[in-house]
Structure 1
Amino acid sequence: MLRLVYSSVQTRTLEAAAFEELCRKASLKNRGMQVSGMLLCNGKEYLQCLEGPTDKVSTIYAAIVEDPRHTDIRLVFHQAVDTRLFEGWHMAGLWKPEQLLQSGVRLPYSMLDPYFQRPWHVLGSAAADLLFECASIKANLERGGQQDLLKSIVLTNTT
């Protein structure tokens, strides 16, 4: 089984409803391929973990590389694994666009340094840790019987 994490830059901005639909379609396709994972979107970049049979994950990643909705695709992490981090999540999505402070001022990272307008790109392989932490939170909430809290955090999870 293969676990793969990549980041890419969006070629067009998605609103929440379009992102949710994207995750729903990916979930249906991934279910049939026995692939699980999570897609994060910050309004500029995607950060995604895919895990499942090596041939299936490789097929999906090859399609992403050719997908015109992505540019500057970076393979952040890939490793053969024995267990899934996102068991039961054929494609969970977390959409967190750039936030404004109540005053209307952008968060400091996006004002001070243009490189931080693409935080996942700048983080490189450490970006994978963000997804792995999401998986850890998922597991802890499930063990604690707090699926409702989990559903309130994740925008979409069509399993």
Structure 2
Amino acid sequence: MTENLIRLTYVSTFQPDITDTNIDDLVAKAASFNQAQGITGVLAIDKDRVCQILEGPKDHVERLFRSIQSDRRHHTVTEIDTRPIDTKSFEAWGMVRRDMIDIVIHALA
């Protein structure tokens, strides 16, 4: 039996002063933290717009999302979907940054 896994998807907007370097640093730190928590997913970015998919143990993903909601680097954090899952779709990805179009292609494949 699988552990209590969920997939949470949200969108937000980065603050105007966030740079590509800031984003790269954020992704690197998040990748290490998320791996330790059993969380995988993807961070899709199009200019200042963000779409992130988080997958992992329910309590860990929900705790991370609460932290994201209070993170001042972005605003208008809007949860799009949360659902239980049997397996992770992004297990091999870890936590990576992709262009928005890459995520659309992955979703349609």
Shorter-chain TM-score range: 0.7 to 0.9
Q: Which amino acid aligns with 2:46?
A: N
TM-score (norm 1): 0.59
Distance 1:83 1:131 in 2: 18
Contact 1:85 1:135 in 2 (8 A): no
Going by fraction, where is helix more abundant, 1 or 2? 1
Instruction: Provide the alpha-carbon RMSD of the alignment.
Output: 2.1
1:134 to 92, 101, 106: 106
1:16 and 1:95 in contact (8 A); partners too: no
1:50: how far off?
0.1
> Would you say 1:74 and 2:78 are equivalent positions?
yes
**Identical-residue share of aligned pairs (%):** 27
Deviations 1:58-98 (A, max 9, x none): 010000001111211111111000010101322110146xx
Larger Rg: 1
Gaps of 5+ in 1: 97-129, 138-159
Per the normalisation by structure 2, the TM-score is: 0.83
The equivalent position to 1:4 in structure 2, one of 3, 8, 15, is 8
Aligned length: 104
Q: Which residue of structure 2 aligns with residue 83 of structure 1?
A: 87
Question: What residue number does 1:94 align with?
Answer: 98
Alignment of 1:7-156 (within 5 A): 7-95=11-99, 131=103, 133-134=105-106
- Structure 2 distance, partners of 1:134, 1:15, is 26
Structure 1 position 47, deviation (Å): 0.4
Q: Distance between the aligned counterparts of 1:132 and 1:83, measured in 2? A: 20
- The Cα shift of 1:13 comes to 4.5
Larger mean CA deviation between 60-69 and 86-95 belongs to 86-95
Deviation at 1:133, TM superposition (A): 4.2
Shift of 1:20: 1.8
5+ residue gaps in structure 2?
none
Q: Select the structure with the greater relative contact order (CA < 8 A; seq sep ≥ 6).
A: 2
